[in-house]
Structure 1
């Protein structure tokens, strides 16, 4: 039996890939048709029961085609997630037509290659054909850029699964007039990147933003005689190392950003937690409405009376109204020693009856309360099919 011609096999693969792309495009258009059918109803975008049935059926079909169940599940998890996000974006554009734009101006921390820059690209890829980027040196500059009208949106990192909340951002949210209009979580894959052909034991200085240093503390503790130099952002660290072109310096960043600066990773996966994610919030000058068909989050800040049980009383109001709290963070109130401002994320639309009632009751027992924003939830949990073995 003669061996297949490699060139012909590659031609056939390319042809099959093109057919796959056409089918994916067709499926996306059908997803938009689904969203259009839900405009006149409050039927949720996601139907997890149908997703479960769909995945089970696809796995069985895949078995008949000699396709592994895990492979089929991974492929369709990505397809379903894309479909959900696409439908959400369509419904949001319909309810907020003033936000639809061909071109958007976005402010973020650092420059090209920073995690904030990569997150901005990911978030606005579905929302605008052209993104005008405004790299900023500080969180305060980011806020000022949007408040002054020089940018339409800002992207702010708010927390990380390894290093926790970013206090400076929480403090800025107390005083800004901007509103949270979106969120996204992105995987953070820290690497040790260099500009020359060198080795780890030769490195004497590492440039990094302070957040990656905290997130990679366990790895850094294994290195001897290392000096940490703080950079304004991860991208700034990459740029410095690229300019130095020395075999004794390195930067902590992501490999995708490193490629923009001609850097190569010599160690990967150096974060304390292998499942390391950063959550970003998107802020704008005007609030948005969230379609009833979309899972929503509401973020607000409040201060409570200085008496025993006052915080518990406030949280009980959420429980009584069947509202799930997914985040509680406290920060000191400047000028008020030992008093705290509480940041609360809940899984609820601010316009729902339950949320309206909860806010009314909270207003009666808190000393201060302010809605920071209501926005679509980015948490698209994959459906795990139950297949009989």
Structure 2
């Protein structure tokens, strides 16, 4: 039986492409917002949610860091998706007719060099695939969209530039999340453990948490902070470490974390993606 996977956006979005690559036989469920994509998995209407967490060009996806603390989902896998921006037009459009360009603001920023060269007027769309859908359905001939090859296929658009981005090295990292927590441990595999934590409001608490990882030879591969609450005095940290809680050194490091933190929440333990070994 094939899996059902939710994602934010319309068909042809890069998240849709990520689902196709990670779950080739899955039934995809497009959602208007990240909240709806997450809720679909929380309610059991889908098996997984495919959620973007960060991009190599644009940085972290701010909405997700706001939503993760509120979600009941667990991270089960990570997936790295190559983002290849195409310049798409209506099949009846001629090159000299193009006067405007539309896409999500991040895609526009990632293609700024060619946009400036071509001197197109810029229109900001809700998302990349939605912009492609708009041109197709409204039969617009003077506007090009920046979107994926999948969007071109779905909406019957013509590709006039196969590589429109400033850089060819554009990768989005996704979490594959579900209601079920990964609990298995295979010593022959390498894992990443992800946490949200707040330290006690005492001098040196964060230093002591970090010291626990260093002392126990646990590599921290990500640490980000953001304030929450109206007074901006409470800082929450999002971290990822190399290791599984069942490994002895990781367990000792986590014992220190729980001791010096006022709040700790495990977001998930998942196998390290093979993509990382290419780096």
TM-score, with normalisation over the residues of structure 1?
Answer: 0.66
Query: Partners of 2:167 and 2:63 in 1: how far apart?
Result: 23
Which moved further from structure 2: 198-207 or 319-328? 198-207
Which residue in the other structure is 1:114 paired with?
13
Q: 1:215-266 deviations in whole A, cap 9, x for unaligned?
A: 33344344435132222x3221211111122221111112233122111222
Which residue in the other structure is 1:105 paired with?
4
User: Counterparts in 2 of 1:335-346, with a 5 A limit?
Assistant: 335-346=230-241
Tell me the SS of whatever aligns to 1:162.
Answer: coil
**Which runs of no fewer than 5 residues in structure 2 stay unpaired?**
none
2:91 equivalent to 1:196: yes
Q: 1:301 aligns with which of 167, 171, 196?
A: 196
Query: Partners of 1:226 and 1:343 in 2: how far apart?
Result: 39
Native 8 Å contact 1:205 1:250 kept in 2: yes
2:247 equivalent to 1:352: yes
Q: 1:358-384 deviations in whole A, cap 9, x for unaligned?
A: 111111111211100001111345679
Which residue in the other structure is 1:59 paired with?
none
Q: 1:150 aligns with which of 45, 54, 57?
A: 45
Which moved further from structure 2: 154-163 or 198-207? 198-207
Tell me the SS of whatever aligns to 2:189.
Answer: coil
2:175 equivalent to 1:281: yes
Query: Partners of 1:132 and 1:268 in 2: how far apart?
Result: 28
Q: 1:239 aligns with which of 133, 147, 167?
A: 133
Q: 1:284-312 deviations in whole A, cap 9, x for unaligned?
A: 00101243222111111111234554333
**Which runs of no fewer than 5 residues in structure 1 stay unpaired?**
1-101, 385-389
Native 8 Å contact 2:91 2:156 kept in 1: no
Query: Partners of 1:273 and 1:103 in 2: how far apart?
Result: 35
Query: Partners of 1:217 and 1:307 in 2: how far apart?
Result: 46
Q: 1:123 aligns with which of 1, 18, 22?
A: 22
Native 8 Å contact 1:156 1:282 kept in 2: yes
Query: Partners of 1:342 and 1:382 in 2: how far apart?
Result: 26
2:137 equivalent to 1:254: no
Q: 1:108-139 deviations in whole A, cap 9, x for unaligned?
A: 112321111111111123xxxx4222110100
Which residue in the other structure is 2:269 paired with?
374
Which residue in the other structure is 1:187 paired with?
82
After TM superposition, give the deviation of residue 356 of structure 1 in Å. Answer: 1.5
Query: Partners of 1:230 and 1:379 in 2: how far apart?
Result: 34
Q: 1:303-325 deviations in whole A, cap 9, x for unaligned?
A: 12345543333222211111111
Which residue in the other structure is 2:209 paired with?
314
> Greater RCO between the two (CA within 8 Å, min separation 6)?
2
Q: 2:223 aligns with which of 328, 331, 336?
A: 328
Report the structure, 1 or 2, having the larger helix content.
1
- Larger radius of gyration, structure 1 or 2? 1
Q: What is the CA RMSD across the aligned residues, in angstroms? A: 2.2
Distance 1:364-1:383 versus aligned 2 partners, 3 A rule: closer
User: Counterparts in 2 of 1:22-37, with a 5 A limit?
Assistant: none
Q: 1:128-169 deviations in whole A, cap 9, x for unaligned?
A: xx4222110100001111111111110000000000000101
Report the structure, 1 or 2, having the larger strand content.
2
Native 8 Å contact 1:113 1:260 kept in 2: yes
